[in-house]
Amino acid sequence: MSWIKDLISPKTRKWEDFYRNRWQFDKVVRSTHGANCTGGCSWMIHIKNGVVVWETQALDYPIIDKNLPPYEPRGCQRGISASWYLYSPIRVKYPLVRGALLDLFRKEKDRHGDAMVAWENIQTDPEKRERYMKARGKGGFRRVTWDEALELISIANISTVKKYGPDRLVGFSPIPAMSMISYAGGSRFLQLMGGVNLSFYDWYCDLPPSFPETWGEQTDVAESADWYNAKFIAAVGSNVAQTRTPDVHYFAEARHNGTKTVVFSPDLNASGKYADEWIPIHAGQDGAFWMAVTHIILKEYHHEQKVPYFLDYVTRYTDSPFLVQIEKEDGIYKAGKLLRANKISKYKNVENGDWKFLNIDKNTGEFVCPGGSSGHRWDDRDGNWNLKYQDAEIGGDYEPLLSFIENNDETLQVEFTEFGLDKKRLRGVPVKNIKTVDGTINVTTVYDLIMAQYGVARGLEGDYPQSYKETDQSYTPAWQEIFTGIAAQNVIKFAHEWSKTAMATNGKCMIIIGAGVNHWYHCNLIYKAGTMALMLTGCIGKNGGGLNHYVGQEKAAVVDSWGHIMAGKDWQGPVRLQQGPIWHYMNSDQWRYDGHHSDYNTVPENGLSGLHTADMIVKSVRNGWMPFYPQYNKSNFDIVKDAQNAGAKTDAEIKEYLLGELKSEEILHSVVAPDEEINFPRVWFIWRGNALMSSAKGHEFFKKHYLGTHHNSIASELAKGLVNDVEWKEEAPQGKMDLIVDLNFRMDTSALYSDIVLPAASWYEKSDINSTDMHSFIHPLTAAVPPVWEAKSDWAIFREIAKATSEVAKTYFPHTMKDIVNLPLMHDSKAEISQTDVKDWSKGECEMVPGKTMHNIAFVDRDYTEIYNKFISLGRGTKNGLGAHGNSFNCADYYEDLLEDKNHLQKIKGEVYPSLKDDEEAINAILHLSSVTNGELAHRAYQNAEKRTGMPLTDISADFKNVKLNFADLQSKPQRYISSPVWSGIMANGRAYAGFTYNVERLVPWRTLTGRQHFYLDHELYIKFGENMPTYKPTPKPNVLGDLKNSVATGKAKVLNVLTPHGKWQMHTTYSDTARMLTLSRGMVPCWLSEEDAKEIGVKDNDWVEVFNDYGVYGARAIVSARIPKGVCIVYHATESTYSSPKPQVRGYERGGGHNSFTRVRLKPNLMAGGYGQFTYHFNYWGPVGVNRDSHVLVQKMDRVELG
């Protein structure tokens, strides 16, 4: 064969050096990407000739266990495109200011010689305001110096603080975990100022509300290596092959290790091809499927076979054996509240008796008050917060009675509602008639209630289904067919395989779940439905089991020390951490376009469910369930001054004054009048995220009401007459925000619409740290090259803003001011046990007691000349100890230790502090002080947990006591962090991390009312909204959602349910604008249509279409595909309007928006509950979420396409 060339003529092969030279490089550094992708992959960045040339994945992950596939290589098509950004034409190289604003500012400044006067003159002149606001998003950027940009920002900061108070400064930056220091830069600055951080995890609808409902936990899931331990995996609403790119090999590798895998998805997606079965479920109907699976599990494996593992599990680890009151209402028996310990004479006087709950001892028939409840958690006495089978009040072991089926006083016919077919049924429930301090009442167990709710007859009388074939009876396999389109036989087969696997493996069945489910209005119910199948088969808190929700990179592993520094708690306590969804719903005026939630939310009729969502928000804010900033229709500084003028001297007296003013309505909460000028948020910092596009649910309302610029909404206002507590103004304001500042390395839609764009360092130009719940490592971001052109790291930018702002304050606002901080009732604090009932002080239903019947009121002194000094140094508050998730530890000695490092100190007014001036100093302080990177601190945290629980726990950290990681360690090799009680998984001895293994193996309670996993949710709002038990609620229909009231099709169009799952060529909008991703896809984010629907509206593949409803319009190219079901279209999350964005015809040839142009946020009111066990606020943790998947649109072909 002539073409085989041996090395006989080496000279002719010398040309091969051409490619060898190309491969050579000068340096390699380790970094990663901050893109909220949950990837958190370690990458090696190659530098040649001083320029970043390419990146490849790190391969040096430690092996967790020889029987687990290794993590290498992690990193996907998007991550490997990151190097494109550094030198790309979309790179922001210099500070930019919108010309219209800059001209006004310069002119006024020239005229008056004073920057502050210049700014105030612009802000007090409506014409000038309108002039620059209308220019937002319309081009006309000017390059300015850093100094000029910083001047404008710091003048706006101080002007706003001085005039309105600091709670009008807001910041949005998503998902700290992806680059924690960059996040912390902005939040530390804002919190030191007294400003507001907007939440993101709930706003994105990435927060699964069912986690706090069931477990009192934000989210705590298995790392992807643990998928391999599962023997049955159901992937639900989670296209793992597309969105969990670096992890999904575990899915395939598990299959080849004998694991059964089933994927549920309406479209045939990349994961559907990857599994044993792909089940084409109707969009958003997963809840119905899982309700039926659970029906079968309860009937066959609990009632008929009584599988010991399953029954033991639910008895020990769930609220199953706890007692629930059956209450008679209008002659009908209904499930009521959990029976409180203090209702029974023998426990009448126990501490926190409203928050302790009861079992019955199987052997004696006596009441037992088991430990572990929220009451025990907040008792003065230690040692009773555990899951032991012991009476925590009077001592003694017992065995819980799970059911009254064989041991009851009578069977009552209790009413159950099935919302899918809207049918009420009376079903027999076994009860005991017990004596309480208020008289005799009927109680049953949660387990018995659940059996009846799911329609498992057990020989009891009542309206129970008699077979799986009944279609009109709750939760049978035949019933679910109606909603899911899955034949009953499939459900039965699935339930059998699932249960048998769980039996054979003691709980190794897993659900991988995601945004495909969590973005629906009733996401909490759908999640709950799946969770029930897991809990009833003993699959939670097990390696290889669990409800593994992967939506958003929410796990900042070093949350304890990082949270402290990012919120500036080392200097001052109270912080303003705002629940994003209610904030945007009110402030972007989306509430005005919302009719009554009961139009689309199936609820029983009663006073609480009858409130408009905006009114429920007001209630939640007044009652301290949810925070809301700005706080009052008056500056906090002015309130303090007025109080002092009225004679108040102490904080307590100022508080009294304020309460009086609130009671007499002299001062109002801002939330009741979001359209009054005095209540506007004013200055908005956006960094690390795309707040005006991918994070702007109701994008067009943002443009209209926040920015005051062009928009494409034609939606009608509907709330007039439906709201009582919220003030209705006939004319909604447009342009609430005075200044929008965006830190960015790329010109995304948010940058394009901001007033000031600051050049931020990319992920290869700064030091930072990154963690995720997909794996158990902390990865560094490292500067492969210094920040290019005039870019700076986010930390450095906010440090410079702090410096400039402190300088401006010296001239314009040098006084120390007392600020009032409203704080909601907080999760993991005693406020969890503050409100047994829903009572509104503003309606005279209870007294005003801050921290009990209403929000807390705290005071902070603000010296704006000191913001910079505080920013760059670690305050003494650190010595009081750190913690997270209800755990704490002392670290004063480690603070002192930092002071020993003479090269990293700040000397301020004669005092010495550890320095946080540089990014790396902040990183090392965080690693030094976190219990997951400092073994001694983990040990102390376990010691404290031992005390609280009375359980031995410190052995978990024994092997890790010498661990102490610093930044250089992270750079040298991927480092696994260690077990700490701030997280619920145990990682010792080569184990993959799995959530709640700590609780199950160590009998440490969940942070819920009973301390167990909750089947039953007895908060009054849940009862009143029909969500106290796992249930199914139908997906709202387009006609009731009202997305299309005013939209008129001008051509052949069709109404479709628009789905926005996460895409293949982007992480949100990041990477979507890179040449790589655009070339490998269709050059933009297209609209996928089924072949049938496309044919009906005359659309061919690659035609331009407009996707629109009343809220706005998105112009896109169509992809016609047989893998899409009829009736839905898919626009992958998320789009940008910065490239290939045409001018759709339906809104008069104005530039189209994006995927959030056809969304408007709808909030579930019962998710606003507060001050009640697991229903208690924490930032990004509890509250309503920004659902978006119920939306409907019209799709039609575009006849004329203008791209320029």
Whichever of 985 and 1154 has its CB closer to another protein, that residue is: 1154
Whichever of 204 and 1108 has its CB closer to another protein, that residue is: 1108
CB of 979 to another protein, least distance (A): 25
In a 10 Å sphere around its CB, with 0-12 CB exposed, 13-18 middle and 19+ buried, how is residue 436 labelled? middle
Closest CA to 330 of 612, 611, 605, 598: 605
Task: Pick one of 54, 309, 378, 728: the residue that binds another protein (CB under 8 A).
Answer: 54
Q: Per-residue string for binding with another protein, 1010-1039, x by CB under 8 A?
A: ------------------------------
Task: Pick one of 1083, 1098, 1199, 1200: the residue that binds another protein (CB under 8 A).
Answer: 1083
Rounded Cα distance, 433 and 442, in Å:
5
CB of 482 to another protein, least distance (A): 9
Task: Pick one of 305, 345, 489, 1050: the residue that binds another protein (CB under 8 A).
Answer: 489
Whichever of 244 and 634 has its CB closer to another protein, that residue is: 244
Whichever of 623 and 762 has its CB closer to another protein, that residue is: 762
Whichever of 101 and 922 has its CB closer to another protein, that residue is: 101
- 1149-1178 residues in contact with another protein (CB under 8 A) are 1150-1151
- 727-766 residues in contact with another protein (CB under 8 A) are 747, 752
In a 10 Å sphere around its CB, with 0-12 CB exposed, 13-18 middle and 19+ buried, how is residue 546 labelled? buried
Question: Under the criterion CB under 8 A, does residue 137 sit at the interface with another protein?
Answer: yes
Whichever of 791 and 1119 has its CB closer to another protein, that residue is: 1119
Question: Under the criterion CB under 8 A, does residue 1049 sit at the interface with another protein?
Answer: no
Whichever of 445 and 1035 has its CB closer to another protein, that residue is: 1035
Return the range that interacts with another protein (CB under 8 A); candidates 131-139, 783-791, 878-886, 1024-1032.
131-139
Instruction: Name the maximum alpha-carbon separation found in the chain.
Output: 104
CB of 4 to another protein, least distance (A): 5
Rounded Cα distance, 792 and 786, in Å:
9
CA 600, 604, 610, 615 dihedral sign is negative
- 325-384 residues in contact with another protein (CB under 8 A) are none
Task: Pick one of 28, 48, 51, 53: the residue that binds another protein (CB under 8 A).
Answer: 53
Those residues whose C-beta lies under 8 Å from the C-beta of residue 655, and which sit 6 or more positions away, are 850, 857
CB of 492 to another protein, least distance (A): 11
The continuous run of DSSP H or E covering 938 comes out as helix 935-949
Rounded Cα distance, 1151 and 1147, in Å:
9
Question: Under the criterion CB under 8 A, does residue 96 sit at the interface with another protein?
Answer: yes
CB of 600 to another protein, least distance (A): 25
Whichever of 15 and 110 has its CB closer to another protein, that residue is: 15
CB 225 within 8 A of CB 774: no
How many C-alpha atoms does 313 have within 13 Å on its Cβ side?
A: 23
Rounded Cα distance, 484 and 279, in Å:
10
Whichever of 2 and 650 has its CB closer to another protein, that residue is: 2
State the amino acid at position 615 in one-letter form. D
Task: Pick one of 67, 433, 466, 724: the residue that binds another protein (CB under 8 A).
Answer: 67
Q: Six-digit token pair at 1133?
A: 């999350």
Return the range that interacts with another protein (CB under 8 A); candidates 75-83, 119-127, 761-769, 1015-1023.
75-83
Whichever of 57 and 887 has its CB closer to another protein, that residue is: 57
CB of 590 to another protein, least distance (A): 22
Q: Six-digit token pair at 368?
A: 């037992």
Task: Pick one of 88, 644, 836, 971: the residue that binds another protein (CB under 8 A).
Answer: 88
- Residue count, binding to another protein (CB under 8 A): 131
- Which residues is 53 bridged to in the sheet? none
- 693-732 residues in contact with another protein (CB under 8 A) are 710
Task: Pick one of 31, 32, 38, 57: the residue that binds another protein (CB under 8 A).
Answer: 57
Which residue do the tokens 């009032």 mark?
Answer: 820
CB 492 within 8 A of CB 468: yes
Backbone angles phi, psi at 432, to 5 degrees: -115, 140
How many C-alpha atoms does 104 have within 13 Å on its Cβ side?
A: 25
Those residues whose C-beta lies under 8 Å from the C-beta of residue 128, and which sit 6 or more positions away, are 104, 121, 122
Whichever of 367 and 701 has its CB closer to another protein, that residue is: 701
Whichever of 79 and 1186 has its CB closer to another protein, that residue is: 79
DSSP helix/strand/coil, 589: coil
Task: Pick one of 28, 48, 51, 73: the residue that binds another protein (CB under 8 A).
Answer: 73
CB 303 within 8 A of CB 311: no
Whichever of 316 and 1151 has its CB closer to another protein, that residue is: 1151
Whichever of 67 and 305 has its CB closer to another protein, that residue is: 67
Task: Pick one of 50, 126, 258, 647: the residue that binds another protein (CB under 8 A).
Answer: 258
Question: Under the criterion CB under 8 A, does residue 64 sit at the interface with another protein?
Answer: no
Closest CA to 786 of 23, 21, 22, 27: 27
Question: Under the criterion CB under 8 A, does residue 225 sit at the interface with another protein?
Answer: no
Task: Pick one of 40, 75, 1112, 1144: the residue that binds another protein (CB under 8 A).
Answer: 75
Backbone angles phi, psi at 181, to 5 degrees: -75, -40
CB of 62 to another protein, least distance (A): 11
Integer angstrom CA distances of residue 645 from 35, 49, 649, 657, 780: 50, 67, 9, 11, 53
CB of 269 to another protein, least distance (A): 7
Question: Under the criterion CB under 8 A, does residue 481 sit at the interface with another protein?
Answer: yes
User: Please, what is the Cα angle at 202 between 219 and 993, to 5 degrees?
Assistant: 15
Q: Six-digit token pair at 212?
A: 């706090």
Task: Pick one of 623, 754, 975, 1141: the residue that binds another protein (CB under 8 A).
Answer: 1141
DSSP helix/strand/coil, 757: strand
Q: Per-residue string for binding with another protein, 408-427, x by CB under 8 A?
A: --------------------
Question: Under the criterion CB under 8 A, does residue 28 sit at the interface with another protein?
Answer: no
Rounded Cα distance, 238 and 547, in Å:
12
Task: Pick one of 47, 283, 1078, 1131: the residue that binds another protein (CB under 8 A).
Answer: 1078
Rounded Cα distance, 752 and 754, in Å:
6
Return the range that interacts with another protein (CB under 8 A); candidates 133-141, 355-363, 426-434, 735-743.
133-141
Rounded Cα distance, 456 and 298, in Å:
7
Rounded Cα distance, 1063 and 1004, in Å:
39
In a 10 Å sphere around its CB, with 0-12 CB exposed, 13-18 middle and 19+ buried, how is residue 331 labelled? exposed
- 619-648 residues in contact with another protein (CB under 8 A) are none
- 900-919 residues in contact with another protein (CB under 8 A) are none
CB of 505 to another protein, least distance (A): 6
Question: Under the criterion CB under 8 A, does residue 55 sit at the interface with another protein?
Answer: yes
Q: Per-residue string for binding with another protein, 238-257, x by CB under 8 A?
A: ---xx--xx-xx--xxxxxx
Compute the chain's Rg from CA coordinates: 29
Rounded Cα distance, 885 and 983, in Å:
8
- 264-283 residues in contact with another protein (CB under 8 A) are 268-270, 272-280
* Other C-beta atoms lying within 10 Å of the C-beta of residue 893: 9
Task: Pick one of 145, 466, 724, 1079: the residue that binds another protein (CB under 8 A).
Answer: 1079
- 1118-1137 residues in contact with another protein (CB under 8 A) are 1119-1125, 1137
Q: Six-digit token pair at 984?
A: 């619920």
Rounded Cα distance, 815 and 1188, in Å:
45
Angle between helices 559-566 and 180-193 (to 10 degrees): 40
The continuous run of DSSP H or E covering 1117 comes out as strand 1112-1121
- 496-535 residues in contact with another protein (CB under 8 A) are 497, 500-501, 504-505
Whichever of 225 and 324 has its CB closer to another protein, that residue is: 225
